[in-house]
Structure 1
């Protein structure tokens, strides 16, 4: 953040822009659906399929809703999906070459239907929904699946050159009743203790950190740390970019930050009283209280700020401890900053409530555009400007035509782990593509949208750049049960490919 603001970090740089809020209603001139607006009562499967399919490829081996998707950290065209059919699949998302159109329909009178992508591996063994999947860092040596059966299952890449084309099961662990989320620990060169490490959060409020190592035949999935600070379900978690700290939130409205590898303790940062966390906040502090719980978390690229979101559109922005070679930038909870411009750990930097329903996801943009985007069940996207005390920069009220916005994500940077990225679409680095202003969103309307966060330059000054359709939108059956929409997505580091997880049981590949 700006260096002359004592409430923010020196390392963050932000847009120099007006504080004025831009509010957009996406009803104008947008032919987004058959009737011009989102209608979950009248939309049918036939309407969605015949309307538009912009995908370049599709994967349809799952027999139930696809709830999660993850991308290989090196071979980013390799993805893994998890489903309500209790299985996961690994497949290559590269679309087949486009066929040459015939010069005459006399030679090719009937075009053939596009074939689905074929799986590289089916990962089974779960007895309930697979709701979290990941590849470990730095090289994607292991693929991990987690389920509502409480199981972690580990698979290793058996190809000699580690190309991600063949996988073999080697270990399973079950320490909890249900796993809610899984997050891979970021790896940086030289930090061998963070290699092939993952964290999970469980429905009993606990958080666990595991190391994966197939060469340890007796204990291939070993426990590094366990944390039991939350009193209700642990709903989300995120690592700081250096992999030193793990932050988690819960339905009980609490927020904890854990010193997983002891780096904070070695730097002199004290733990919060009565816990093994370097930072802890809950509803007892009325400034932090969110009635209804917290459900999502994001950490800034500098690692100095955490944003947590929850019920009724509430967001809290909190300063995190800084770990430096010479010592902590903030020692203990709420201590004064060590230098001007640093934020004390535990300081509540902003209390936000622009949206009216639960915050579904949060995302910080990469430098130099350090914005915070939030998506909500109320169908809106809000962008906050951290350079001006998190003032609302833009409020897109009908971002997905009234449907809940499931996830937003700014274009990610290239590998912080330092591992080279390979694959057909991996040549551009963050410095080369320089599109950290690009925000991608998905909704229960079954649409993927791409936004320009720099300003309202396109689509009636809303910032809408592009959209892709192909998934079934939200529908309701005779029993009143709703289904449809997109549950998750991953995007390549250059932003040119997006792979989705659809509630219709299909993963679609979209390309610019």
Structure 2
């Protein structure tokens, strides 16, 4: 089977990854040798060499920045959330680079770089904001979610929806703490998916809301789910926006038919529920010690990868809904596809030793799955070859936990007929869909080639950017530092980070 077949997801081709793996060790720098004799009376002071590769920075927060999101149309518009209970929206475009003087003897030294300024301050929370998002398709709304259980919504008030002016219009609180938020993908003519978000809470529940500032109830509940018995730790939508999948600390996994598309396609599930698929730790083949904490769904929507404790990953077949045949209104009616694989455990992987913090699938024509672990490693699997381990990069972030990994994103909203900057960006990223980015608590951003290098020393590492403080421990034993998250534009040429040091940095290729 060729790895260039993005649609090859037959059950029999997914087994445990027992193929040979290529393991890379990131070597430490050689110790510096001192020239001449060493003077034992010489006083040596600790010195920290700080490297900053960023093109711009945003420093309005007064505490750790835990989350960051970018506008779906205007990628340079960024929203952040912090431990200071505040969010900000800002333009990440760096200022033009100054022309270097020909002579420092006649021209003064350049001044310190000025920070990017906020476009809007998003306040009103009473605890940490740990999830932020712009809604699809046009980024009309931005919403913040906090550990205080609140959702707070703002709308773009600019006439041409440029994302430069925002106004608060609604708040909702249905749970004690919100763990995550996921925006429903929007497809052409799928108006029911417009401006919809899902959240997961510490009580195990999951909620789906629709935002509409013109409504009497501007943040309205579409669905509520109470399947998990412990904290709902992560969730993801299928790319068509029809199904929502969630995982929990109790080791369970559920898939919900949010808008009824699966039921209309003839996919059966228990009466009175919207659960089209459910697996729990009671099934020993599925059980993961320590629970589940991360999830990713393949671009085709046919499989879900679930990450949990002790480096465990479970790959599960999903029910897929496709359009086939005319409906009464002359439109294509949904029909189930790939139902035989739904609920099947396609692979049980364990090549890393600690919690899987993040998972990401590559875009076609490549079929890679990347996994980031607290053990400091990255693992790359090939879905087209029975999830064989393509590479295991140990010490990918100098043994610090890897917080997030993400392949270059695609722009689902563009068709072949669309022109302009976004169309060019989409075309560019398709040519680089083998590239992925990772961040860790070492404070470094790294860009990788999933296809690997030609030698073990290459490891596939293409580029790295520094600027954040790494994880350190103070006198009280408290740890801080590193990168908590990032976004990258459609071309992958700009990366904006969320730092535990309270700063957002903008890096450019």
- TM-score, with structure 2 as normaliser: 0.90
Q: Distance in 1 between matches of 2:91 and 2:455?
A: 33
Matched, 1:409 2:403: no
In 1: Cα distance, 2:389 partner to 2:206 partner: 33
Give yes or no for contact 1:249–1:255 (8 Å, CA) kept in 2.
Answer: yes
Shift of 1:129: 0.2
Within 1, Cα distance between the matches of 2:78 and 2:452?
32
CA drift of 1:329 comes to: 2.0
Residues 130 and 147, structure 1, Cα contact 8 Å, conserved in 2: yes
Aligned-residue Cα RMSD (Å) equals 2.5
* Mapping 1:3-402, distance limit 5 Å: 9=9, 20-27=20-27, 50-216=49-215, 218-272=216-270, 275-326=273-324, 327-330=335-338, 337=340, 344-402=341-399
Q: Deviations over 1:314-352 (max 9, x none)?
A: 100000001123421255xxxxx3xxxxxx100000000
Cα distance in 2, alignment partners of residues 507 and 202 from structure 1: 26
Q: Secondary structure at the match of 1:488?
A: strand
CA distance in 2: counterparts of 1:391 and 1:484, whole angstroms: 34
Whole-angstrom CA distance in 2 between matches of 1:63 and 1:178: 22
Alignment gaps of 5+ in structure 1: 32-45, 332-336, 338-343
In 2, the alpha carbon distance for the partners of 1:421 and 1:457 equals 37
Change (3 A) 1:10 1:464: same
Task: Note the C-alpha offset of 1:276.
Answer: 2.8
Which moved further from structure 2: 322-331 or 301-310? Answer: 322-331
How many residue pairs match? The answer is 479
After superposition, the Cα gap between the structure-2 partners of 1:230 and 1:240, relative to the gap in structure 1 and judged at 3 Å, is: same
- Alignment partners' CA distance in 1, 2:30 and 2:140: 44
> CA offset at residue 415 of structure 1?
3.3
Cα displacement (A) at 1:395: 0.3
Quote the residue 1:450 is aligned against. Answer: 447
- Matches of 1:272 and 1:256, distance apart in 2: 13
Q: CA contact under 8 A between 2:312 and 2:355: conserved in structure 1? A: yes
User: Unpaired runs of 5+ in structure 2?
Assistant: 32-45, 325-334
**Which secondary structure state, in structure 1, belongs to the residue aligned with residue 209 of structure 2?**
strand
Where does residue 40 of structure 1 map in the other structure? none
Distance 1:432 1:394 in 2: 22
Report the alpha carbon displacement of residue 10 of structure 1 after superposing the two structures with TM. Answer: 6.6
**Structure 1 segment 500-511 matched on structure 2, within 5 A:** 500-511=497-508
Tell me if structure 2 keeps the 8 A contact 1:414–1:430. Answer: no
Kindly indicate whether the alpha-carbon contact (under 8 Å) linking 1:2 and 1:9 is maintained by their aligned counterparts in 2: no
Structure 2 CA distance for aligned equivalents of residues 182 and 433 of structure 1 = 27
Q: What secondary structure, in the 3-state scheme, does the structure 2 residue paired with 1:510 have?
A: strand
Task: Deviation per CA, 1:148-189: give whole Å up to 9, x if none.
Answer: 000000000000000000000000000000000000000001
Q: In the superposition, relative to structure 1, how do residues 2 and 302 fare at CA in structure 2: closer, same or farther (>3 Å)?
A: farther
Confirm or deny: 8 A CA contact 1:357 1:376 kept in the other structure.
yes
* 1:269 and 1:330 in contact (8 A); partners too: no
Radius of gyration: which is bigger? Answer: 2
